[in-house]
């Protein structure tokens, strides 16, 4: 299994910067000592191309997709990209796959989202059956699935190397660990606001959370965990505080420990700031020192 360390960075901000700035940023993260950075796929850069650029600019940093959409390319293309990146960069790439959301899938990509679990199961089987006649990496590449509900978590255990839960409170990490068992990876994302004023911190959090709270996958997961529809719709303090840890570096460290204690192998922190265009290098440096 690929070793991505106990902590990592989840970020989407780099897609808004020129590729030269991306190379400089990940080179600095590598120098700081971060073991892994996670990159998304929405309507910006292709994650496999971006991962290749980042891996080429670094020596030790691992790059993981959080997530690559299964609707964006056929299973053989994804399987062979995973093999190619790991062979080219000595096993430093982790494939995270997901079914994305109804809005991006049907409205933007024009695919049928009626049976996402079935689609994922078939997709993984087709990946496994794919042909590849190039040079193989030294070790077989790994893959994890973006999983929230019980059936997708079960699939993460049976057909993948673990799960990558996103936008979840600590109690979900314990559920994920129980679902996938002791030998599979649980790599949980955790949003962070380094602000001690409750009003300011929660306002920054709500700005970033708004799009997610409107997506059924995340809202339904929170309701399964006992949060009410009204709390979710209003972005109640209880929901905000469950999803986003705000405060000092010590507060962040305590939340990360809570995920680890609940069963996470890896926690990737996503820094939220009022300026969404800023590359939060200062915060990333401070968090590495606090969490290492």
Residue ranges of domains in the chain, CATH in brackets: 7-291 (3.20.20.30)
Are 65 and 39 within 8 A, CB to CB? Answer: yes
Per-residue confidence (pLDDT) for residue 101, from 0 to 100 = 85
Which residues of the chain are under the pLDDT cut of 50?
A: none
Q: How many residues does the chain have?
A: 292
CA distance 125 to 164: 19
CA distance 275 to 13: 10
Are 175 and 264 within 8 A, CB to CB? Answer: no
CA distance 232 to 135: 48
What are the C-alpha distances in Å from 198 to residues 161, 205, 244, 248?
Answer: 38, 10, 12, 11
Q: What are phi and psi of 275, to 5 degrees?
A: -90, 105
Secondary-structure breakdown of the chain: helix, strand, coil percentages, each rounded to the nearest 5: 50, 15, 35
Per-residue confidence (pLDDT) for residue 281, from 0 to 100 = 98
3-state secondary structure of 274: coil
Four-CA torsion 153, 155, 161, 165, nearest 10 degrees: -30
- pTM, to two decimals: 0.97
Per-residue confidence (pLDDT) for residue 104, from 0 to 100 = 83
Of 226, 252, 241, nearest in space to 172 by CA: 226
Are 171 and 243 within 8 A, CB to CB? Answer: no
Taking only the tens place, the pLDDT of each residue in 25-77 is 999 999 999 999 999 999 999 999 999 999 999 999 999 999 999 999 999 99
Of 122, 129, 55, nearest in space to 94 by CA: 55
Per-residue confidence (pLDDT) for residue 193, from 0 to 100 = 98
CB-based burial label for 161 (10 Å; 0-12, 13-18, 19+): buried
CA distance 119 to 137: 27
Which parts of 129-272 fold into alpha helices (H)? Answer: 150-159, 170-180, 198-213, 216-224, 229-233, 237-243, 249-262
Residue 192 contacts by C-beta under 8 Å, 6 or more apart in sequence?
244, 245, 246, 252, 269, 270, 271, 272, 283, 287
């Amino acid at each position: 299994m690929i070793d991505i360390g106990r902590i990592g960075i989840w970020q989407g901000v780099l897609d808004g910067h020129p590729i030269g700035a991306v190379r400089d940023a990940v080179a600095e993260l590598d120098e700081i000592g971060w073991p892994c950075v996670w990159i998304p796929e929405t309507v910006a850069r292709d994650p496999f191309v971006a991962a290749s650029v980042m891996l080429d600019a670094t020596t030790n940093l691992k790059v993981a997709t959080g997530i690559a959409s299964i609707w964006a390319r056929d299973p053989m293309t994804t399987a062979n990209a995973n093999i190619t990146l790991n062979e080219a960069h000595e096993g430093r790439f982790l494939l995270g796959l997901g079914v994305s959301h109804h809005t991006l899938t049907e409205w933007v990509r024009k695919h049928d989202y009626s049976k996402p679990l079935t689609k994922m199961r078939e997709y993984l089987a087709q990946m496994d059956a794919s042909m590849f006649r190039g040079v193989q990496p030294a070790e077989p590449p790994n893959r994890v699935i973006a999983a929230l509900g019980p059936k997708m978590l079960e699939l993460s255990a049976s057909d993948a190397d673990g799960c990558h839960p996103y936008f979840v409170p600590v109690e979900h990490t314990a559920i994920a660990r129980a679902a996938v068992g002791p030998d599979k990876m649980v790599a949980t994302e955790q949003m962070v606001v380094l602000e001690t004023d409750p009003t300011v911190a929660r306002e920054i959090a709500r700005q970033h959370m708004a799009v997610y709270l409107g997506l059924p996958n995340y809202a339904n997961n929170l309701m399964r965990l006992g949060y009410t529809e009204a709390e979710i719709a209003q972005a109640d303090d209880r929901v905000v505080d469950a999803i986003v840890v705000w405060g000092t570096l010590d507060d962040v460290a305590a939340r990360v420990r809570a995920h680890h204690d609940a069963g996470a192998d890896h926690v990737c922190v996503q820094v939220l700031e009022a300026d969404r265009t800023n590359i939060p290098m200062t915060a990333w440096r401070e968090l590495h020192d606090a969490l290492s």
